[in-house]
Amino acid sequence: MRARFLPLVVLAVANAAFAGPPVRFEHAGDALLRVLVDGKAVAVYHTGDRDIPRPHFRDVFTLNGERVTRPCPPDPVTYKGNDDHATFHPGVWLAFGDLGGEDFWRNKAPVRHVRFEGDFTEGDGFGSFTVVNRYGRAGGGTPVCTETCTWSVRVAEEEGWILSCDSVFRSDDADFVFGDQEEMGLGIRLDSPLAKKFGPGRLSNSAGGADERGTWGKQAAWCRAAGVIWGRTVGAAVIPAPGNFRPSWFHSRDYGLIVANPFARKAMTAPDDDSAAPDKTVVRKGEDFRLGFGVFVFSVPKDAPLNMDRAVDICLTQAK
């Protein structure tokens, strides 16, 4: 039996159960799946289309209704100056600029949604669904690999909710390689108020780094963006699973981008060193390669502490 990443749950009150409001999933057309918490949409899963040919989440909100991700697509008037990379940064996504020699980050090759696998899990405080995706080639032919991904939604008491993924990549046809560049991994594009360049938002990480200067290219347990909006501290933290094959570096920008990237050894640590060879992560034919990440979407009163240690325990996944 292959190993799985299992969500860890740390309760706000020791030994006290927290069921939480109901989590449901609702189809809204052939390509859309709405994520509902207590009947309110907190995100939309999109299986991909002509403009963004890869699955992603868009329109991510806190439980209180504050917008966390930039709209997709961003209105060019409302978001003037912050409407770049509209099809690369749709909201929350898992993508790779170099996988099997193909560029899925910049949508040069397609990630096709094959199917939803099995039934949805829905209930008080927790829900999940599983998808199968196929990583094709720009010129057609044998796909690079397939991905089986379980997306989980967990309510984190009154602080917020967690979106986590457990992905398994595999090819029964040939070996494939994850390359070395900044644009690899799980990313989030934040709404303008959560970005230093456009609003009160600030980046920070588990190592005490602040803003792009103190977080970009650093390995950390988490990196978050947060800002005070209408008297509440609102934001999101991206947290790599500790069971991943390597800790992640963070590609984090003051304009509102956070990407957790375990592949960018040269790109993040020695981009100008011509003597350093790009890293290669080889997955052999017939073998599973697993990645996991969590996104903690939070909203608390501005004077209330946000316990990131607890958030890490809630958000993260652990190999078992």
What pLDDT score does 316 carry?
Answer: 57
Q: With 80 as the cut, is the pLDDT of residue 14 above it?
A: no
Confidence of residue 158 (pLDDT cuts 50, 70, 90): confident
Q: With 60 as the cut, is the pLDDT of residue 162 above it?
A: yes
Mean pLDDT over all residues of the chain?
92
DSSP 38: T
What pLDDT score does 173 carry?
Answer: 98
What pLDDT score does 318 carry?
Answer: 38
CATH, range 5-9+20-319: 2.70.98
| % the chain with pLDDT above 70 | 92
pLDDT tens digits, residue range 42-80?
999 999 999 999 999 999 999 999 999 999 999 999 999
Confidence of residue 319 (pLDDT cuts 50, 70, 90): very low
Work out the burial of residue 303: count CB atoms within 10 Å of its CB; fewer than 13 is exposed, 13-18 middle, 19 or more buried.
exposed
Confidence of residue 30 (pLDDT cuts 50, 70, 90): confident
Six-digit token string for 245: 């094959």
pLDDT tens digits, residue range 240-288?
998 999 999 999 999 999 999 999 999 999 999 998 999 999 999 999 9
Q: With 80 as the cut, is the pLDDT of residue 168 above it?
A: yes
Residue 189: closest CA among 311, 88, 51 = 88
Residue 229: closest CA among 250, 253, 270, 200 = 200
What pLDDT score does 18 carry?
Answer: 58
